[in-house]
């Protein structure tokens, strides 16, 4: 049996050259997912730095926690793309890059003199990932590209919240993460094709992907999903229920066999109203009440143990402090400490060539020295891509 991977095991995207011109979240997430698996990502910032350097919580060194996360595993350089020398330097890098990630408003890249067709003509393998709010065309193309707009317009907010409450937006950067993953996936699909091309990814369509068959349901059934709190229309009971000690239990009954075991456990297994998906959906309020009464008569630990014994699906609602100490998260290495900061580990596990977090987001211009030889290399005809710095 061969030994498992070590910290020196090559990562699957080593040798993939990525220029990250994007800012804030969705674009940087896209490039970060590539960097986590070994891509050599050069993060290009304008003088003064990316907005995220000043957004949110700060660490003891004065950097923001957002910056440390979304720009980890990248080399950081500063270029003024309004200056002809810096723009020419960037063009030389792009001439030998594999991927460019940008999230300017449509037309801004071209206004800088970086016309996609011309970049691909100079480098026929170049994949240009363009992340925007609404895409490169269409009547909304010039609207600001913020996740909040996508969450509002995708249908998500309209069905999120309590039945008698206001539509709710997610309390995390949900759409940016989804769009970042979509962008990274699409970038690798395009690289695999071997054909230089533009990849058009936007926040609205990325968020629409998680709506399941709801658009189909509207067109075929005239169905519009209402706000159901933590419920969903096709799985009852499904929600959060408070235990006697104040803790909260999340319950799912998305398979008929699991639902049957839960019905028996809470004492309504013989009630014909609850023996089918359709019956449970039709009697949602009664079943939710029965579920809530069963949970509130037990401590959270007792309720979890009962569900485990019944081989049914439930879990405690954890906050960050509780998840940090959770034995499963600890055993799996869900979080990793790097540069004195605890962050989520890479998003997927590869058994032979895993990705890893090598360093967190770097100080502004930390890797400007790596560009020192680019101009000379460009004149001599040598490969202008800088050698990666040696970091553990």
What distance in Å separates the CA atoms of residue 204 and residue 161, rounded to the nearest whole number? 20
Q: Which two tokens mark 284?
A: 């949602």
Catalytic annotation on 59?
no
Q: Do 147 and 173 form a contact (C-beta atoms < 8 A)?
A: yes
β-bridge mates for residue 100, sequence order = 19, 128
Q: Helices then strands (H, E): number in the chain?
A: 17, 11
CA dist 163 → 157, 211, 212 (Å): 12, 19, 20
With tokens 């968020």, the residue in question is: 207
Residues 6+ apart with CB under 8 A from 162: 227, 229
Q: Which residues pair with 99 in a beta bridge?
A: 18, 127
Tell me the three state secondary structure of residue 201.
strand
CB 374 within 8 A of CB 89: yes
C-alpha span between 392 and 390 (Å, rounded): 7
Q: How far apart are the first and last CA of the chain?
A: 27
Selection from 264, 125, 128 nearest residue 187 by Cα:
128
Residue 88's closest CA among 386, 375, 381? Answer: 375
Catalytic residue among 36, 50, 176, 367: 176
Active site residues: 176
């Amino acid at each position: 049996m061969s030994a498992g991977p070590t910290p020196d095991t090559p990562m699957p995207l080593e040798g993939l050259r990525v220029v990250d011109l994007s800012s804030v979240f969705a674009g940087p997430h896209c490039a970060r997912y590539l960097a986590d698996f070994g891509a050599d990502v050069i993060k290009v910032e304008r003088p003064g730095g990316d907005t995220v350097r000043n957004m949110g919580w700060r660490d003891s060194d004065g950097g923001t926690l957002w910056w440390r996360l979304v720009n980890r595993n990248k080399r950081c350089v500063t270029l003024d793309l309004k200056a002809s020398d810096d723009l020419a330097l960037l063009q030389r890098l792009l001439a030998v890059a594999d991927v460019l990630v940008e999230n300017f408003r449509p037309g801004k890249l071209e206004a800088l003199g970086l016309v996609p067709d011309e970049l691909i003509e100079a480098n026929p393998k170049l994949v240009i990932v363009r992340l925007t709010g609404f895409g490169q065309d269409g009547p909304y193309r010039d609207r600001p590209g913020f996740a909040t707009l996508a969450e509002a317009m995708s249908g998500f907010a309209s069905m999120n919240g309590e039945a008698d409450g206001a539509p709710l937006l997610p309390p995390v950067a949900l759409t940016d993460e989804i769009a970042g993953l979509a962008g990274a996936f699409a970038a690798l699909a395009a690289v695999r094709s071997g054909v230089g091309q533009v990849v058009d990814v936007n926040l609205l369509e990325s968020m629409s992907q998680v709506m399941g068959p709801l658009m189909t349901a509207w067109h075929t059934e005239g169905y519009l999903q209402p706000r159901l709190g933590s419920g969903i229309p096709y799985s009852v009971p499904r929600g959060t229920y408070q235990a006697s000690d104040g803790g909260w239990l999340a319950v799912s009954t998305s398979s008929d066999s699991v639902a049957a075991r839960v019905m028996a456990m809470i004492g309504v297994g013989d009630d014909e109203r609850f023996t089918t998906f359709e019956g449970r959906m039709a009697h949602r309020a009664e079943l939710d009440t029965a579920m809530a009464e069963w949970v509130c008569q037990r401590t959270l630990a007792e309720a979890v143990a009962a569900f485990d014994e019944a081989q049914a699906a439930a879990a405690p609602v954890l906050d960050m402090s509780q998840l940090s100490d959770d034995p499963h998260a600890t055993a799996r290495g869900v979080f990793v400490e790097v540069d004195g900061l605890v962050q989520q580990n890479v998003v997927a596990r590869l058994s032979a060539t895993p990705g890893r977090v090598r360093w967190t987001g770097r100080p502004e211009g930390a890797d400007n020295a790596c560009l020192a030889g680019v101009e000379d290399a460009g004149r001599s005809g040598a490969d202008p891509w800088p050698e990666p710095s040696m970091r553990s």
